[in-house]
Amino acid sequence: MTQRPSLSSAAAAPPGLVDKSVPPLPVPAFDALFQALRIKGVVYYAQDFHGDWAMHFLHTVHARIHVVLWGRCWLQVGGQTLALRANDLVLMPEGVEHVLGHGDPAQAAIAPDARDVGRMIRAGALPTQGERSARLISGHFEFDPQVRGLLVKSLPTLIRTRARTGANRELVHALPSFMAAELRNRRPGSAVIIERLAEIFLVQVVRAHFEAAAPVAQTPSLMAAFFEPRLNAGLNFMHARCHEPLTLAQIASAAGMSRSAFAQRFKATTGEMPMAHLAEWRLLKAAQLLASSDQSIAQVAAACGHRSTEGFSRAFKRRHGQSPAQWRATAAAAA
pLDDT along the chain (335 residues), means of 10: 48 49 70 92 82 86 90 92 90 92 76 66 71 86 92 90 60 72 77 82 87 66 93 96 95 96 96 96 95 94 95 96 95 86
pLDDT value of residue 313: 96
Q: Which of 182, 48, 179, 69 is nearest to 121 (CA)?
A: 48
9 φ/ψ angles, rounded to the nearest 5 degrees: -85, 155
103-106: long-range contacts (C-beta < 8 A, 24 or more apart)?
103/51, 103/52, 103/53, 103/54, 104/52, 104/54, 105/54, 105/74, 105/76
pLDDT value of residue 11: 44
**How many Å apart are CA 248 and CA 260, to the nearest integer?**
9
**How many Å apart are CA 69 and CA 180, to the nearest integer?**
9
Q: Where are the beta strands (DSSP E) in 250-313?
A: none
Classify domain 40-217 at the CATH topology level.
Jelly Rolls (2.60.120)
Q: Where are the beta strands (DSSP E) in the chain?
A: 40-50, 53-57, 63-77, 80-85, 88-92, 98-102, 109-110, 132-142, 159-162
The CATH code of the domain at 228-334 is 1.10.10.60
**How many Å apart are CA 118 and CA 141, to the nearest integer?**
20
CB 264 within 8 A of CB 225: no
pLDDT value of residue 81: 92
124-128: long-range contacts (C-beta < 8 A, 24 or more apart)?
126/49, 126/53, 126/55, 127/49, 127/50, 127/51, 127/52, 127/53, 128/50
Q: Which of 210, 197, 288, 198 is nearest to 242 (CA)?
A: 288
pTM above 0.85, yes or no: no
Parts of the chain belonging to CATH 2.60.120.10:
40-217
CA distance from start to end of the chain: 8
pLDDT value of residue 298: 96
pLDDT value of residue 241: 94
pLDDT value of residue 260: 96
pLDDT value of residue 126: 73
Parts of the chain belonging to CATH 1.10.10.60:
228-334
